[in-house]
C-alpha cells in the first residue's frame, strides 16, 4: 500500500468537479438547481451518477421505489455493506449541494479507495434515495420511508403531482422502477454527509458538525373562534376577539421553545385571520404551531404545556379553541458507535468541530430505524439551503468527505 491509512485523503478537486457537473442538469439562471423527483432531469441526474458508479467498478441495484444502491465488493461478501448516501432530487428553487453532496461524497470515498487499491472486509455501498424533498410528491423522504416501512409501497405509488401523474407511472417512465423489495437490502451501518442547512457551524467558525441526532417535531393546527363585530361600536369588555386570544397562544409557543434550551424550538409560521378586515373584530383565527426538541421526553413536555395553556386560555376567555396534532416525528438519536466513528475521524484529521443537532429531516432518520446510522455536517454559506444561492466552500466539502472516508473505513475494516 503506497499511502499509510491515516494519511489517506479524498480528492477534493474531483469531488468539486463532480458536484459542478451534476449541478448542470437542471441548472437555473440564479446558479441553483431545479431537478424535481422522477422528472426527465432527475432521470438524467440518476443516469449520470449511475454511470460514475459503474466507472468506479460498482454493481447497481434498484428497488421497487427507485432507490439506487451501488456496491463495491468487500472481501467478505456475507457481511452487510457499510452504506453512505443521500438524495439527488432538489427543491424547485434548490441548490447544488443539498443531498447531492452526500451522494457524491460517498462516491468520492469509493474512488479514493480505488485509487489506492484499498480493499475492505465489508462491502461499501453508495445509495441515493427517491424523492427526499417531497416537493413534487408527498410524503417527503419517500424512498427511505418505504424502505424502512414507515409507510407502504402502495401509498407511495399512489402519490400524485399537481398534473395527476403518479409515482408508480413516473418511476416506470424514467426507467427506475426496480425489482428488489424495499427494505430487503441489508445495511451494516449508514453514514450521511450533508450541508448543515443552518447557521450554527458558520457562526461558531467550525468545519465539522458531529450530529448526535435529529430534532423531533410536533405540528398542530389551532383555531380560535370568537365573533365578528364592528370595531367602533363594540366596547372592549363586550368583545369576543379571536385574534387577541390567539396572540397570547402564539407568544406561549415561543415561550415554550425558549423554556427548553438549547434545542427547544417553537414557531408559528402560518396565520389566517377571518374576515381580515381593518374595522372588524376578528371572528376566527387559524394558525400553525411547530414544536421541536431533541428528546421524546422534552417534546412530550412541550406538547403537554401547549395543550394545558390552550385549555386555560379557553376557560379564561370563554372562546372556543381547538388544537389538533396533525404531524409527529419522534426525535432520532443516532447510533453511539456511528457518532463516535465520526467524532474519532474528525479528531484524527484535526478539523475544528462541534456537536450540531439536525433541525431538518434526512434519509438517515429512516435508515437509522434499520441500521446503526450517523451524520456529518459541513457549513453552508449564511446557513441558507432550499434556495438557489445555497453555497458551500470546497475545502469544507473536502473535509467532510475525509471524515466520511475514515468513519466508513472504521466500520468496513480495511484489509491490511
Ligand atoms: Zn437534503
pLDDT digits over 28-58, tens only? Answer: 999 999 999 999 999 999 999 999 999 999 9
Confidence band, pLDDT 50/70/90 cuts, at residue 234 = very high
Average pLDDT for 60-73: 98
How close is the Cα of 133 to the center of ligand 1, in Å? 7
Give the pLDDT confidence of 150-196 residue by residue, as tens digits: 999 999 999 999 999 999 999 999 999 999 999 999 999 999 999 99
How close is the Cα of 240 to the center of ligand 1, in Å? 44
Give the pLDDT confidence of 303-355 residue by residue, as tens digits: 999 999 999 999 999 999 999 998 898 999 999 999 999 999 999 999 999 99
pTM: 0.88
- On the question of pLDDT at 71 being above 70, the answer is yes
CA 35, CA 88: separation in Å to the nearest integer? 8
What's the pLDDT at 360? 87
How close is the Cα of 252 to the center of ligand 1, in Å? 31
How close is the Cα of 16 to the center of ligand 1, in Å? 17
Q: What is the DSSP pairing of strand 82-86 with strand 189-195? A: parallel
CA 28, CA 387: separation in Å to the nearest integer? 11
How close is the Cα of 189 to the center of ligand 1, in Å? 19
Give the pLDDT confidence of 246-256 residue by residue, as tens digits: 999 999 999 99
How close is the Cα of 311 to the center of ligand 1, in Å? 38
CA 114, CA 248: separation in Å to the nearest integer? 60
CA 292, CA 267: separation in Å to the nearest integer? 9
What's the pLDDT at 1? 52
CA atoms within 13 A on the CB side of 147: 32
Percent of the chain with pLDDT over 70: 100
How close is the Cα of 100 to the center of ligand 1, in Å? 8
Amino acid at each position: 500500500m503506497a499511502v499509510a491509512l491515516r494519511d489517506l485523503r479524498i480528492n477534493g478537486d474531483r469531488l468539486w468537479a463532480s458536484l459542478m457537473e451534476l449541478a448542470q442538469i437542471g441548472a437555473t439562471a440564479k446558479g441553483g438547481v431545479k431537478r424535481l423527483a422522477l422528472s426527465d432531469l432527475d432521470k438524467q441526474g440518476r443516469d449520470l451518477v449511475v454511470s460514475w458508479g459503474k466507472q468506479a467498478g460498482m454493481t447497481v441495484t434498484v428497488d421497487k421505489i427507485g432507490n439506487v444502491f451501488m456496491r463495491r465488493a468487500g472481501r467478505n461478501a456475507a457481511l452487510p455493506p457499510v452504506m453512505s448516501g443521500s438524495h439527488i432530487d432538489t427543491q424547485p428553487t434548490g441548490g447544488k449541494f443539498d443531498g447531492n453532496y452526500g451522494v457524491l461524497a460517498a462516491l468520492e470515498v469509493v474512488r479514493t479507495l480505488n485509487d489506492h487499491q484499498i480493499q475492505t472486509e465489508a462491502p461499501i455501498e453508495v445509495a441515493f434515495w427517491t424523492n427526499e424533498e417531497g416537493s413534487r410528491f408527498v410524503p417527503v423522504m419517500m424512498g427511505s420511508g418505504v424502505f424502512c416501512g414507515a409507510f407502504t409501497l402502495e401509498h407511495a405509488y399512489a402519490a400524485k403531482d399537481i398534473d395527476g401523474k403518479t409515482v408508480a407511472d413516473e418511476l416506470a417512465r424514467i426507467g427506475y422502477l426496480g425489482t428488489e423489495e424495499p427494505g430487503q437490502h441489508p445495511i451494516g451501518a449508514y453514514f450521511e454527509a450533508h450541508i448543515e442547512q443552518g447557521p450554527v457551524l458558520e457562526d461558531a467558525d467550525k468545519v465539522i458538525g458531529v450530529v448526535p441526532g435529529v430534532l423531533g417535531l410536533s405540528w398542530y393546527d389551532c383555531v380560535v373562534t370568537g365573533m365578528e363585530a364592528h370595531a367602533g361600536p363594540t366596547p372592549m369588555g363586550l368583545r369576543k376577539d379571536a385574534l387577541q386570544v390567539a396572540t397570547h397562544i402564539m407568544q406561549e409557543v415561543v415561550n415554550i421553545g425558549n423554556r427548553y434550551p438549547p434545542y427547544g424550538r417553537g414557531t408559528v409560521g402560518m396565520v389566517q385571520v377571518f374576515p381580515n378586515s381593518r374595522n372588524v373584530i376578528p371572528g376566527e383565527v387559524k394558525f400553525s404551531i411547530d414544536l421541536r426538541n431533541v428528546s421524546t421526553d422534552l417534546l412530550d413536555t412541550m406538547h403537554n404545556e401547549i395543550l394545558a395553556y390552550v385549555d386555560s386560555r379557553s376557560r379564561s376567555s370563554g372562546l372556543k379553541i381547538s388544537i389538533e396534532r396533525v404531524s409527529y416525528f419522534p426525535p432520532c438519536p443516532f447510533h453511539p458507535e456511528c457518532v463516535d466513528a465520526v467524532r474519532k475521524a474528525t479528531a484524527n484529521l484535526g478539523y475544528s468541530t462541534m456537536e450540531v443537532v439536525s433541525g431538518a429531516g434526512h434519509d438517515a432518520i429512516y435508515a437509522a430505524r434499520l441500521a446503526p446510522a450517523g451524520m456529518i455536517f459541513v457549513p453552508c454559506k449564511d446557513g441558507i439551503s432550499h434556495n438557489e444561492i445555497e453555497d458551500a466552500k470546497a475545502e469544507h466539502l473536502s473535509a467532510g468527505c475525509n471524515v466520511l472516508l475514515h468513519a466508513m473505513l472504521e466500520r468496513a475494516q480495511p484489509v491490511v
